[in-house]
Amino acid sequence: MEPVFPSSGKTSGRGPASSDGSQKSLLTELWEVIRTVGIAFIVLLLLNIYVFNLSVVKGQSMEPTLEESERLFVNKIIYDFRDPQPGEVVVLKDPSDGPDKKEYLVKRVIAGPGDIVEARDRELYVNSIALNEPYTDIRIEDADFGPVVLESDEYFVMGDNRHAGRSKDSRYFGNVKKNQITGRAEFVFWPLTKIRGL
């Protein structure tokens, strides 16, 4: 039989120490979560500023390729390493003036530096060669234009919607400089049922 010692009336002290320790542990875990979320937010912010952007399609100028309210993933650094290429869908700063000026536009690069662009008889020509445009669903309904000669660092952009008056593009505001192009639209990521590359 083990001896029984009378209680001294003092507590062992383990209770408060254990409670204090669990509070410190909880605060440490909370700080780790906050720090991780903060770091992730900063990284995403920096990526959004320098690497990619998410844009919303507004208007009908890129139909049938893009529809209004679709969301785009935009690569912002690709043109730091190479020049825009004909056929690519790009996001650019709206170079126009007036009440219909927007912050950004989504257009397709038709031609680049040194090229000659014109439209005649409802067909688009680059360097006197008729352009094959599988991304459009109609021949050009607007008036003929050109020839337009692109100087160094200039690009001619158009919307895929070739119905009359449906796209504000280089026919309206002229050639654009490379530094006005903010990135290349890589793919549609929303709505989920319409995810696709461009």
Catalytic residues: 61, 107
Answer positive or negative: Cα dihedral of 121, 126, 131, 137.
negative
Number of H helices, E strands in the chain: 2, 12
CA distance 48 to 37: 16
CB 147 within 8 A of CB 114: no
Beta bridge partners of 197: 187
Q: Which helix (H) or strand (E) holds 25?
A: helix 14-50
Classify residue 17 as exposed, middle or buried by CB count within 10 Å of its CB (0-12, 13-18, 19+).
Answer: exposed
